[in-house]
């Protein structure tokens, strides 16, 4: 892809200083700029790089005052950070704008496929699947029978979607994720016989799921990710879990079966939550915390394992660290009393 400074300035509604015809073929950080690349300057700590960067084009704030000559062409905008984010989004759309159905893919004759879809090599679409418009199915994706994929959804390479799964519009599922695998249910009173998992997974609109996540189907009913949910990589969601709207889970979270997570929650990395509990809306849980009972108060910040209110945890932690010294003091007091 190749663009001129003039074209980019038009997209960003910016003002050019320098060569309007300079050609851009790639993006770069300002400190690693190369000829033919475009970068941006938003953080004042990086201002000195504007005078030494080899980038051909740099997006800067309108109010940036130069103290020496620069070799790069500049585009001045209201907010360099927002403008560059917009540019990244456009670049990504162009880069991922794949279309067409590979002759090496397989789509069942009973599947209903929308317009302008992309199906890469060795993608498999099962029987009675319904696929919306502008869906992108990258190589080696498997979509099981009777599943539904909404408009504008992207399934990156190697995603596996088991049967009866429902995925909404504008979703992004990253490579290696498995949706609809069996829940972990066995009967210890009957020689650990497997309990059949006959439910499904429902993923609502505007959900993004990172790489190598596992979302189990329900035993009965549905495991549900509500609209706007965002997952990092390596997250496990067990059977019959429900994640509320616009909740964010960082890498390594594990949510046990039948747990209900509220809206607008934010969980840091490696949070673990036991089964059959509820977590109230707007809850924040810090990294490596363990939740062993329901969280009923909205908006709490929790820390520790088992987790409790973060400000109390920090105060208590001071005593944790001093516990050895406190024990020695008590031992000395007891020894003196005996003497």
pLDDT at 267 over 90: yes
pLDDT at 147 over 80: yes
CATH number assigned to the domain with residue range 100-314, chosen from the 4 options 2.60.120.10, 3.30.230.10, 2.160.10.10, 3.40.50.300: 2.160.10.10
Q: Out of 48, 239, 276, 319, which one is annotated catalytic?
A: 239
Q: Is 3-95 in CATH node 3.40.1390.10?
A: yes
pLDDT at 262 over 80: yes
pLDDT of residue 29: 94
| pLDDT digits 0-9 by tens, 201-223 | 999 999 999 999 999 999 999 99
pLDDT class for 336, splitting at 50, 70, 90?
confident
Residue bearing the bigger pLDDT, 93 or 85? 85
Q: Where are the domains of the chain?
A: 3-95, 100-314
CB 150 within 8 A of CB 130: no
Look up 239 and say whether it is catalytic.
yes
For the chain, the first-to-last Cα distance in angstroms comes to 86
Fold match flag (3-95 vs 100-314)? no
For 131, phi then psi, to 5°, come to -120, 130
How far apart CA 197 and CA 238 sit, in angstroms, is 12
């Amino acid at each position: 892809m190749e663009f001129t400074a003039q074209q980019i300035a038009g997209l960003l509604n910016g003002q050019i200083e320098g060569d309007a015809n300079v050609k851009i073929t790639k993006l770069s950080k300002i400190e690693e700029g190369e000829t033919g690349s475009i970068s941006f300057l938003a953080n004042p700590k990086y201002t000195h790089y504007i005078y030494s960067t080899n980038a051909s084009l740099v997006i800067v704030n309108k109010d940036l005052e130069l103290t020496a000559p620069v070799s790069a062409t500049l585009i001045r905008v209201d907010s360099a950070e927002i403008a560059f984010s917009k540019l990244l989004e456009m670049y990504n759309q162009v880069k991922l704008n794949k279309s067409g159905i590979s002759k090496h893919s397989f789509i069942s004759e009973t599947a209903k496929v929308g317009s302008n879809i992309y199906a890469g090599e060795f993608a498999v679409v099962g029987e009675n699947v319904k696929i919306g418009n502008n869906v992108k199915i990258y190589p080696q994706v498997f979509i099981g029978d009777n599943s539904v994929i909404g408009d504008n959804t992207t399934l990156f390479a190697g995603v596996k979607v088991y049967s009866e799964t429902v995925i909404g519009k504008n979703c992004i599922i990253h490579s290696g994720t498995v949706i609809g695998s069996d829940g972990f249910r066995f009967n210890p009173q009957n020689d650990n016989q497997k309990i059949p998992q006959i439910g499904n997974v429902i993923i609502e609109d505007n959900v993004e799921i990172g790489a190598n996540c596992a979302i189990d189907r329900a035993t009965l009913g549905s495991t549900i990710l509500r609209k706007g949910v965002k997952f990092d990589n390596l997250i496990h969601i067990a059977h019959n879990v429900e994640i509320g709207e616009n909740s964010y889970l960082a890498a390594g979270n594990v949510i046990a079966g039948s747990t209900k997570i509220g809206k607008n929650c934010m969980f840091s990395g490696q949070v673990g939550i036991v089964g059959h509990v509820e977590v109230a809306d707007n809850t924040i849980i810090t990294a490596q915390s363990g939740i062993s009972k329901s969280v009923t108060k909205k908006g709490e910040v929790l820390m520790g394992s088992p987790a409790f209110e973060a400000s109390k945890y920090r105060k208590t932690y001071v005593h944790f660290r001093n516990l050895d010294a406190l024990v020695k003091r008590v031992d000395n007091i007891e020894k003196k009393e005996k003497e």
